[in-house]
Structure 1
Amino acid sequence: MNVLVTGGAGFIGSHISERLLETGHAVTVLDILDPYYDLGLKERNVERCRDAGGDRYEFIEGSITNDELVRDVVSGRDIEFIYHQAAQAGVRTSVENPKKPHEINTTGLLNLLLAADEYGVERVVNASSSSVYGEVEYLPYDEDHQNVPQSPYGVTKLTAEHYCRVWNEVYDVPTVSLRYFTVYGPRMRPNMAITNFTSRCLNGEPPVIYGDGKQTRDFTYIDDIVDANCSLLETSAADGEVINVGSTGTITIESLATHIVDETGAPVDLEYDDAKEADARHTHADVSKATDLLGYEPTVDIREGVSQFVDWYRANRDWYEPLVLNS
């Protein structure tokens, strides 16, 4: 199958691309290479996928906000399936600059949907986020929970979900939106808490927690995210749906930091700073819908996953840590 992965030089997109190449598909990646964090990591992801896919892999540098480029990529390569992972990520970043995530996360998606309709793409899988939930009414979140996003980023992701629903219902373009819950693992973004805590501990510095540390997160290991995405190559049961993809468990940020201190053996204590605006207090996924429709079963819990990540970080520290410190 000819597959387009937008944002395929990034953390999640590159892992999806790699799995697709391993299973024999042809992958085209469209990525603007935005220096949101050190581009060395994205460039390394591209080379890794190129090595895995050979002539079945093509990288195109460009933006999904360029309508003509999107149409040329989809039509010129006979794209049959789209994994839309490109986004301006970051709740805190969106508070500082709300216009950029709107243009990329909303207008960019609309360009993809228009091209998918025009050129008969079989399915568009949209990467959404637990940030669409916002204010907690009950936990764990199921997909019927109210959506009251607390950041511009969350608003753009919810808008994108509605565009996907409308394209499925009105234009007969099969779409699925997967609501990710804090994804982590090897090659993860340098500006995430797990990366930051690990780097600081391995350099003898205390992890810094924003707020009281009692906030909880549902962290999802990258392999589970890739499994959920790739299952959609085989089924139409989820067309038109929004689906949570999480781990089913939670951990406080304080416990997470303590676990990383223990795993690294760092002789440090935790430090605390002021809470960040628009950060969610709690996230927790009900994944029963994903189980019913996709056969999804998360395989890695947070403590096991963090241990694996710390081991990976140590093994790749020579090239990965400079990118973390530079981001």
Structure 2
Amino acid sequence: MQVLVTGGAGFIGSNLAEGFLDAGHRVVVLDNLDPYYDLGIKEHNLEVCHEAGDDHFEFVEGSTTDEELVDEVVASNDVDVIFHQASKAGVRTSVEHPKAYNESNIDGIVTVLEAAADHGVDRVVNASSSSVYGVPEYLPYDEDHPNHPKSPYAVTKLAAEHYCNVYDDLRDLSTVNLRYFTVYGPRMRPNMAISNFVSRCLNGEPPIIYGDGEQTRDFTFIDDVVEANRTLLETSDADGESMNVGSNDNISIRELAEYIVAETGADVDIVHEEAKDADARHTHADVSKAGELIDYEPTTDIREGVSKFIDWYEANREWYEPLVRNS
């Protein structure tokens, strides 16, 4: 199939692109190489895709807000399915720069949907987020939970979902929204709890927890996210749906830090600093809907996944660590 992955130089997008290439599909990545973190990581991600795909892989540098470019990429490549991963990331940063997030994340999805509808794309799979739920009225979150986004980032993710639903209804374009719950794993971006904790512990520095550490997260291993997206190349059962993609488990940030300290053998004490604005207190996914529609079943729990990430980090430390520490 002809697959377009927007934001395909990033962590999740590059893992999707690599997986599709390994399965024999032709993949085009569109990415503006936003320097939100050290671009060396994104450049490495693209090298991995080139190695996986050879002449079945193409990289186009540019933004999803560039209407002419997006239209040309979709039309000239006869794209079958678009996996829209491109968006400006970061809950905390969005509080400081809401207009930038609005432009990137909302204008971007509309441009992609327009091009998809105009050129007969079979499906757009949109990367949404657990942040659309906001403060939990109950846990685990199911898809019927009220949406009360608490940051500009979360607002843009919810708006993108609504745009997908509108295009599904009005333009006869199949769309699916996947609500990711804190994705982690090899090549993950540096400014996240797991990558920060592991990097600091391996360098004899204490992990820093913002707040009391009793906040909990549903962490999702990247391989499970790739499998959920891969399934949507084939099944038609999910048309017009939004669904959670999580681990069906959660862990407190304090427990996570303690586990990483133990696994790395670091002789350090955990440090606490003031909590950050807009951070969610708890997340926990009910993934039964994804199980019913796309046979989604998470395979990696947080402790197993963290151990895998530590092993990968140590094996790739020479190139990865300087970029993490520089971000």
Q: What's the TM-score bracket when you normalise by the shorter of the two chains?
A: over 0.9
Aligned position for 2:82 = 82
Mapped to 1, the partners of 2:77 and 2:228 lie a distance apart of 25
The code of the aligned residue for 2:313 comes to Y
SS at match of 1:58: strand
| Runs of at least 5 residues in structure 1 that lack an aligned partner in the other structure | none
SS at match of 2:214: coil
Per-residue CA distance 1:100-158 (angstroms, 9 max, x = gap): 11111110000000001100000000000000000110000000000000000000000
Mapped to 1, the partners of 2:13 and 2:181 lie a distance apart of 15
The code of the aligned residue for 1:303 comes to R
Residue 256 (1) aligns with residue 244 (2): no
Query: Following superposition of structure 1 onto structure 2, how do residues 1-327 of structure 1 map, counting pairs within 5 Å?
Result: 1-327=1-327
- Post-superposition offset of 1:96: 1.1
Mapped to 2, the partners of 1:135 and 1:218 lie a distance apart of 15
Mapped to 1, the partners of 2:44 and 2:324 lie a distance apart of 14
Mapped to 2, the partners of 1:244 and 1:16 lie a distance apart of 17
Per-residue CA distance 1:194-240 (angstroms, 9 max, x = gap): 00000110111100000000000000000000000000011010010
Mapped to 2, the partners of 1:217 and 1:317 lie a distance apart of 26
Mapped to 2, the partners of 1:96 and 1:265 lie a distance apart of 37
| Runs of at least 5 residues in structure 2 that lack an aligned partner in the other structure | none
The code of the aligned residue for 2:7 comes to G
Mapped to 2, the partners of 1:207 and 1:47 lie a distance apart of 31
Mapped to 1, the partners of 2:59 and 2:70 lie a distance apart of 13
**Over aligned residue pairs, what C-alpha RMSD do you find?**
0.5
The code of the aligned residue for 2:121 comes to V
Mapped to 2, the partners of 1:200 and 1:112 lie a distance apart of 39
Aligned residues: 327
The code of the aligned residue for 1:236 comes to S
- Post-superposition offset of 1:51: 1.0
- Post-superposition offset of 1:278: 0.4
Per-residue CA distance 1:14-62 (angstroms, 9 max, x = gap): 0000010011100000000010000001001101101110111000000
The code of the aligned residue for 1:304 comes to E
The code of the aligned residue for 2:95 comes to V
SS at match of 1:175: strand
The code of the aligned residue for 2:114 comes to L
Mapped to 1, the partners of 2:153 and 2:131 lie a distance apart of 7
Per-residue CA distance 1:56-100 (angstroms, 9 max, x = gap): 100000000101100000001111110000010110010111111
4+ runs deviating over 6 angstroms: none
The code of the aligned residue for 1:156 comes to T
Mapped to 2, the partners of 1:285 and 1:36 lie a distance apart of 27
TM-score under structure 2 normalisation?
Answer: 1.00
- Post-superposition offset of 1:170: 1.1
The code of the aligned residue for 2:257 comes to A
TM-score under structure 1 normalisation?
Answer: 1.00
